[in-house]
């Protein structure tokens, strides 16, 4: 079985109307985020996806490096022009789409969850990350570049620094799978949920139910600060509500949960 992908095979495999209506497939890039942002600035159609075989400077949240070895995983940036009213639901929508995709591929008993705000995990190990970069044009139009990195046929056990904290679809299944199947499922799920949001549905409750952070005592690093508290709930915007040791509550809109118990 071949696991190669190409511009044509991606386009042919998709059965979506919007997501992936235009596919840019590249061999090696610094980051698909920059290619997608340039295309959006030039007026690319909403739904355009940029997929690369490898990234030399793949980036994650907090300017971290996103490991992007060639030919193994999915590195995709999606261009959307969402209405400001539901902008906060975009990253929730992506995380839920990835969970839905994994649920259709992995064994039923797999424990798939989201660590707030949008790390997708299997049995507590990160399998996918989402990076949303928003810009507002002079015309007031909102551009969202949504980066998704999903480990597919990546043997994370070979890399000491991530072997304990990361996994991949092949790591969970015990065998490799075709990336087209994953791309097709992910784009269909993104489209279904995006159309739902556009027609006024909220994704927040589904996203909240997938979070493994709620109810846990957590440490959260936010800028220079480390905040400790009980993660009690999330609000409609996706902010995390913490109950601090002194009983006060705090709403956090960004940061990294470094421990949860
Ligand atoms: C994170 O969890 O820190 C987010 C990781 C996002 C990685 C993806 S891979 C495709 C796109 N291009 C990048 O450089 N980053 C995102």
**pLDDT above 80: residue 64:** yes
Write the burial class of residue 71 (CB in 10 Å: 0-12 exposed, 13-18 middle, 19+ buried): middle
52 lines ligand 1 (CB under 6 A): no
**For the chain, how many residues are written?**
261
60 lines ligand 1 (CB under 6 A): yes
pLDDT, residue 1, reads 53
pLDDT in tens, 78-110: 999 999 999 999 999 999 999 999 999 999 999
Residue 195 Cα distances to 84, 106, 164, 188, angstroms: 15, 25, 37, 11
Instruction: Return mean pLDDT, the chain.
Output: 95
Residue 171: φ, ψ to 5°: -65, -35
Which numbered atom of ligand 1 lies nearest the CA of 32?
12
pLDDT in tens, 131-154: 999 998 878 889 999 999 999 999
Which numbered atom of ligand 1 lies nearest the CA of 126?
2
pLDDT, residue 138, reads 78
Q: How far apart are CA 67 and CA 88, in angstroms?
A: 27
H or E stretch covering 257: strand 256-260
Beta bridge partners of 241: 233, 251
For residues 250 and 203, the answer to whether their CB atoms sit within 8 Å is no
Q: What is the pTM of this model?
A: 0.96
């Amino acid at each position: 079985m071949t696991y190669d992908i190409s511009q044509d095979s991606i386009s042919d495999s998709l059965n979506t109307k919007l997501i992936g209506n235009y596919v840019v497939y590249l061999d090696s890039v610094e980051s698909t985020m920059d290619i997608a942002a340039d295309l959006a600035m030039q007026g690319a159609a909403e739904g355009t996806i940029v997929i690369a075989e490898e990234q030399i400077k793949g980036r994650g949240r907090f300017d971290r490096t996103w490991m992007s070895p060639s030919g193994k995983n999915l590195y995709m940036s999606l261009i959307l022009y969402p209405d400001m009213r539901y902008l906060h639901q975009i990253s929730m929508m992506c995380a839920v789409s990835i969970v839905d995709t994994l649920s259709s591929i992995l064994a039923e008993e797999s424990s798939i969850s989201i660590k707030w705000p949008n790390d997708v995990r299997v049995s507590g190990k990160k399998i996918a990350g989402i990076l949303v970069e928003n810009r507002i044009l002079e015309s007031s139009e909102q551009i969202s570049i949504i980066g998704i990195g999903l480990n597919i046929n990546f043997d994370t056990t070979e890399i000491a620094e991530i072997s304990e904290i990361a996994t991949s679809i092949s790591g969970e299944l015990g065998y490799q799978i075709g990336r087209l199947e994953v791309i097709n499922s992910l784009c269909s799920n993104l489209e279904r949920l995006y159309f739902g949001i556009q027609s006024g549905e909220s994704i927040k409750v589904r996203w909240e139910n997938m979070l493994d952070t709620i109810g846990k005592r957590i440490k959260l690093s936010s800028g220079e600060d480390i905040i400790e508290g009980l993660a009690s709930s999330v609000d409609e915007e996706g902010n995390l509500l913490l109950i601090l040791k002194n009983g006060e509550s705090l709403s956090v809109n960004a940061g990294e949960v470094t421990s949860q118990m």
